[in-house]
Structure 1
Amino acid sequence: MIVSNTKNAVWTAAHCLHAGKGGGFYKNFVFIPAYKNGLTPWGWWFQDRVIVPSKWAIYSDYYSSDLGALIVKKDLLYGNLQDAIGAYGYNFSDGPAYSDVHSYGYPADGYNRPDSDFGDGEYLMYCRGNTVDGGPWDLLDERLRMNCDMGHGASGGPMVTGIATGNVRIVGVNSHRYTTSSGAWADNHLYSSEHASEARSSPPSITDPSGTKDHRAPPATGGALPAHAAIAPVTLAPPPASWDPPAADARQSPPASSPP
């Protein structure tokens, strides 16, 4: 969750929302806070609208545009998502280097580890470390890169600072990692798109970067997740194209140039 005027915004990767170049928006999104092995302590929050940058929709730009927002509907029981659960602040500044970053996700596999370590994507896991410049030899490539072995299923999870201090701010999202010619994960590097101008302009309702600190404990019981829930990919190849995009969901002004 990200703090916003809507009080119902979920920050994630664009490839979890839209198929990218030549494709369209996916449909029927459901956000399940604090999910754990079939338990849904805060219930299901259903899609209201979706926002991705036009550079993602037109070019599948992983460098600066694999980011977006899912706005969910107000829940009949809990009200607004942010009021019920809390929300992270954000720091969408220029530059990829941050200290003591936590990356969260629900991975079903990972680099150089057996799939059995990951519990079929049913459990929240994290990596902790620093982010560095993901393209140090390219001045136009300001992606965030951190050492993290999480694979499929970690897509769209936040990279955040401030866990130790309680001043939690989103600085990126799990976007992609490289694969070998055989399809195996190539190395221990997990990337986020640069979170600068595109991130600042993508969610027009997100204006207050301070975040909220009232992260309340979930109720003791919850329902179960249906078995067909999808696991989002985190490779450089986008998901296959699917449904036609609603015209109003993507920002319509084309970028000045193609991605590097």
Structure 2
Amino acid sequence: MRPIRPARPAPRGRSARRRSAPLLSAVGLVAALALTATACGPTEDGAAGTPTNAATGPAGGSADGKITIPDDLKDRLKEHGIDLDKWKGGEWKNWNKDDWLREAEDFVNPIIAGLWDPDRMKDAEKPPKQPVANDISGDAGVTDPVPARLPARAAKSPYHSTAPEAGRLLFDSPEGSMACSATVVKDPQHPGKSNLVWTAGHCVHAGAKGGWFRNIAFVPSYNDQAKPVSKTTPREQVAPYGVWWAKAALTSDQWIAQGGPTGGAGAPYDFAVLSVTPETAGGKSLEETVGSALPVEFNAPAVPQIVSMQATGYPAAPPFDGERMFQCADKPGRLAIKPAQPTMYRVGCTMTAGSSGGGWVAQGADGRPALVSNTSIGPVSAGWLAGPRLGTEAKAIYDKAGKK
């Protein structure tokens, strides 16, 4: 599969610059009126849906498919000192490579209450277009044999009792609404009150040929009871612990510079950390709300010393539907994309797109469970997944995220 991403995506390891409240409000208002509805769920690498123009009501679309903003709305915003046509040259509404907001300081993700309703969450499930090849090793002398195909097993519900830190990550891309997986992790700078979420870089930023995705939101214990989801499903069923919006996102410089639809040279650095805030203010942190957060283990033991790693995610490409949590536990092997790059972990697992970004857990240095990697890439049919080994680059963005 390609990077089992949103199943697709990833961001740069620099801190996001704060935006003024008026700007956020304005962008949020515009976004609410002119949305690009899309859906994507990570296949064994990443999946993307078909773009849909969802600009309705007062905000419409031009003949060439671009979003247009009503003149009366523009005038009202200008009364508050906000001219959207001049902000970043209007780049906020563009997805093309030249204008797509790429840099850390460009990250803008205003809360749009109610945007992610059960129906839209369910639609974020599409298979990948460009699967990863079964054999992508760039260094046969380092890469271990392809692991045996290991069927993913359904996690026991309620998921909050099985993996309370796990959840689903939703976002909009040029190709539609997409879905990845993510994990609540501890924040040493705010003990017991973490608002940090770990995922794959390709789930928040498109890499070398794109920029930041929009409307990024995390849903812990998504569909906790593993029940069928439809248009009439109550939001409380699919989001029992609320919807948490990314207010800051960080990923590696390597992913932004080298990442691609199938991972590419950026795959060994395909990780990201989000600082989130609740859609509905409640006073409690994410960690307090879900009751748990995993520590992150950097520079985990070498492959021969690891007995087992467990990958968790919400696979969305067939034969899965993105509505249920699955897991795989296997002894990892090594995968080298290029000789000069860090090796990746690789395990046998049949999870598909949508599982991208999901946490890999192993025994930490203190003997307790810790997050040691995340799902990044995998072929559609071979039955394996690969994730980055977390080192100094990952530690740097993790530390910065805690300061947000």
How would you bin the TM-score normalised by the shorter chain? Answer: 0.5 to 0.7
**Structure with greater helix share of residues:** 2
Aligned length: 194
Displacement of 1:167: 2.0
CA distance in 2 between partners of 1:172 and 1:186 (Å): 22
Letter in 1 for 2:275: I
2:325 is the counterpart of 1:124: yes
For the aligned residue pairs, the C-alpha RMSD in angstroms reads 2.6
* TM-superposition CA deviations, 1:8-33 (whole Å, max 9, x none): 11000000000000210001111110
Q: Equivalent residue for 2:285?
A: 80
1:105, 1:157 within 8 Å by CA — same for their partners in 2? yes
Counterpart of 1:92? 298
Q: Which amino acid aligns with 2:370?
A: R
Larger Rg: 2
1:23 equivalenced with 2:23 (yes/no): no
CA distance in 1 between partners of 2:211 and 2:338 (Å) = 33
Runs of 5+ unmatched residues, structure 2 = 1-183, 230-237, 260-264
Residue 64 of structure 1: how far off its partner (Å): 2.6
Question: Does the alignment pair 1:189 with 2:390?
Answer: no
Give the partner amino acid of 2:382: D
1:102 aligns with 2:310: yes
Query: Secondary structure of the equivalent of 2:284?
Result: coil
The answer to whether the 8 A contact 2:217-2:243 is kept is: yes
8 A Cα contact 2:274 2:401, kept in partner: no
Aligned-partner residue type, residue 104 of structure 1: T
Q: Percent identity?
A: 25
In structure 1, the partner of 2:49 is none
Deviation at 1:176, TM superposition (A): 0.5
Is there any run of 5+ residues in structure 1 with no aligned partner, and where? 110-114, 179-184, 208-248, 250-260
| Structure 2: distance between partners of 1:96 and 1:132 | 10
Structure 2 residue identity aligned to 1:72: V
Measured after TM superposition, the shift of residue 186 of structure 1 is: 4.5
CA change 1:11–1:101 in 2 (3 A) is same
- TM-score (normalised: structure 2): 0.44
Q: Which SS does the other structure have where 2:327 is aligned?
A: strand
Which of the residues 242, 255, 262 maps onto 1:56? 255
Q: What corresponds to 2:140 in structure 1?
A: none
CA-to-aligned-CA distance 1:182-218 (integer Å, 9 cap, x gap): xxx24122000221122111222468xxxxxxxxxxx
Query: In structure 2, the residue corresponding to 1:89 is in which secondary structure?
Result: coil
The residue type equivalent to 2:249 in the other structure is V
The 1:169/1:155 distance shift into structure 2, 3 A limit, reads same
Matches within 5 A, 1:205-220: 205=400
